[in-house]
Structure 1
């Protein structure tokens, strides 16, 4: 829930196979092509503080 609240995400269920393939091709595959793999990540001090304080902000 926190991710949806702060990251402008959208969950979508598509029942039409043609539309689902079109969405995947035009959106998801383009994003994947622009992305880079992160094998591991250590949170920064600011990220840790943000996570601790976020319930009260």
Structure 2
């Protein structure tokens, strides 16, 4: 079995591609930090996650 691939918490359903310079994964990604630090962006991400979960459940 191979090494697990971390998933990007921002680009739902996509693997972490280390798109932020200096990041080693989602845990120290500047983009993740910016989104999670902004209440409006964090809420919008939560909405997208709920929509995705509902669509997955319905399918």
Q: What TM-score comes out, normalization by structure 2 length?
A: 0.29
Q: As a proportion of its length, which structure holds more helix?
A: 1
User: Larger relative contact order (C-alpha < 8 A, sep ≥ 6)?
Assistant: 2
Q: What TM-score comes out, normalization by structure 1 length?
A: 0.30
Q: Which has the larger radius of gyration?
A: 1
